[in-house]
Amino acid sequence: MKIYTFLLLILLTTLSKAQTHRFIYEYKFKPDSTSANYRNVNMALDINPKDVKFYHYENIINDSLNKKGGRNYNWNGTPAIKRNKNSYLNTNYEMMMDYFSYTTTDKMDWKLENETKTSGKYTLQKATTDFGGRHWTAWFCKDISISEGPYKFRGLPGLIFELSDSKDNFIFKLVKSQKLEKTYDTSDFLEVFGGKKPLNLKIADLHKMMLQFYNDPMKELREKFDDVPPGTFQVGGTKITSKDQFKEMAKVMQNFIAKNYNPLDLTNAVIYPQIN
């Protein structure tokens, strides 16, 4: 117990000195809520002196390569957000046809439970909340007095170690922490991505663009079809030799989009119409 207390004191001391304290979460999620299959990635939670950022860990690897002359930019659809310290106002970043950002206020009310469990040498306490049209369970550590967690989840009296929704569509688990001497610069892949600054808009405008693409996903290729030799375009490995093929290809694309749309926040989700 004395050794654990001593190590904890060291951790809390270095927390106050580190310019960026990075917590890495394993993130398992189902793109298709009806499937048993998960995608599994690592996400970074950067807690800086003035702000908090959450994004795909692969961005850090690519950023290191880009600083050496590379051109590695890959947007994979996982959450990318930024907020000021002690704030529920989040800037959300999205890459679709262009790079966009929009703001949301994401306050949540937690219910602290008496149930506890251990994770390594840490004691975790259970808490629950309803957020984004889903019921969530978090396990947090009061001994690490950081009121933050993965994605938009914050406000508990300790760092969130584990988080999942009631249907296990989304599962976050803390796997590692790092202390960086300087505030980590994300300006080449978050505030700017691939050299593009985000176009700030309202979420309703973003939904409108998503629906426009969904309703006619083959529009751009169809309009360019007459300007190129037949067979130039391929969709899903199939060569397009006639404009008549675009109608069927559009249905395939629409089915794929709708089937693989399982957003964390259902209250801010676009509603895709059924395909006839």
At 239 the pLDDT is 79
**Whether residue 206 sits in one domain with residue 176:** no
Q: For residue range 65-88, list pLDDT tens digits in order.
A: 887 777 777 788 899 999 999 999
Could you give the 3-state DSSP secondary structure of residue 21? strand
Residues 120 and 210 both lie in one domain? no
Q: Which of 118, 140, 138, 143 is nearest to 128 (CA)?
A: 138
Residue 176 included in any domain? yes
pLDDT tops 70 at residue 230: no
Beta bridge partners of 56: 43
| Alpha carbons 258 and 261: distance in angstroms, whole number | 5
Say yes or no: 133 and 17 in one domain: yes
State which of 147, 180, 213 marks the end of a domain: 180
* 14 vs 201: CA distance, rounded Å: 39
CA distances from 212 to 83, 119, 218, 271 (A): 29, 47, 11, 12
Count of the separate structural domains present in the chain: 2
Note whether residue 22 is domain-resident: yes
* pLDDT, position 103: 97
Instruction: Say whether pLDDT at 188 is over 60.
Output: yes
Q: Is the pLDDT of residue 9 over 50?
A: no
User: What 3-state DSSP class applies to 124?
Assistant: strand
Q: Is there a contact between 84 and 51 (Cβ–Cβ < 8 Å)?
A: yes
pLDDT at position 167, please? Answer: 97
pLDDT value at residue 6: 35
**Total-model pTM:** 0.88
pLDDT tops 60 at residue 13: no
For 11-15, the CB contacts below 8 A with 24+ separation are: 11/144, 12/144, 12/145, 14/179, 15/144, 15/146, 15/179
- Identify the domain containing residue 241 by its residue range: 202-268
Inform me whether the pLDDT recorded for 187 exceeds 60. yes
Higher-confidence position of 128 and 249: 128
Q: What angle do CA 258, 264, 268 make, to 5 degrees?
A: 75
Domain stops at, among 148, 180, 212: 180
CATH label of the domain that carries residue 85: 2.50.20
Residue 114 and residue 147 in one domain: yes
Closest CA to 144 of 123, 172, 169: 123
Portion of the chain with pLDDT greater than 90, in percent = 71
